[in-house]
Structure 1
Amino acid sequence: MFDDKDSWSDFCSSQLILIKKMLISLGVGERLREERERLGKNQTDFGASAGVSRGTQKAYELESSSPDIRYLSGLQELGVDVHYVLTGSRVDTDLNNLSDVEMAVLGHLRQMAEADRNVLLRTASAFAGAASLEGAKGHN
């Protein structure tokens, strides 16, 4: 809250810091460190590979600063699971691990017209949303 004891610039600065911290998802820094260590890099080398200084890398890992899109794109090129860093969940992108059902669905998908693919995507999204709601109800 702004009062007479604070200058306007101090107040604005403190509000910007608060907003910036709100934009950083909890755990991003820890997951970023995990990925850095998984790749066997120190903060200096990892940061340089993604286009930032060691200090910036450290700030990202401490969650005192939020990474930008150029940095995240650089991480992607290094083999970092950016989806995991940002969300905390890993996505299995290894096509060799597809089940028979997944392979069949993918095969049919590739044979469909674009409009039909979009219908299938909306349908799959609706089913997935309903499943996650049912899962949430089961935990309450």
Structure 2
Amino acid sequence: MSQQALAEQCGVTARSQRNYESGERLPDAGYLAALPAAGVDVLYVLTGERSGAHPAHDAAEQVLLDSYRRCNAQARQHLIQTAALLAAGMPPASARGAGSSGGQSVVGDDAIQIGSVTGKARIKNR
């Protein structure tokens, strides 16, 4: 799409469009709101990160995310460990019985390491 065509679609002058693209001026919210209709990924324009990199959450994912955010630090660690075990095809600690590590170990840098037949999956805490 030409600068002129994008400018017209977003309600600005061609000169404003050139100024936005050259970094001489910053666009206003109205211009940014009009960009998606022109097929522009606004998140990419603002941050350099594609919108598709983070697909929308379905309802179940949102419940998990909300639950994680309500947890204290220790509960978050347990939630991460349980999710890592389930993702690796292993039952959570509560289903394995008390005192059984099931191949899981916490390493010195607070990473979770899970043993498996093909190797070890390592999930690093942030």
Which range, TM-score by smaller chain? 0.3 to 0.5
Q: TM-score normalized by structure 2?
A: 0.47
Q: TM-score normalized by structure 1?
A: 0.43
| Structure of higher RCO (CA pairs closer than 8 Å, 6+ residues apart) | 1
Higher helix share: 1
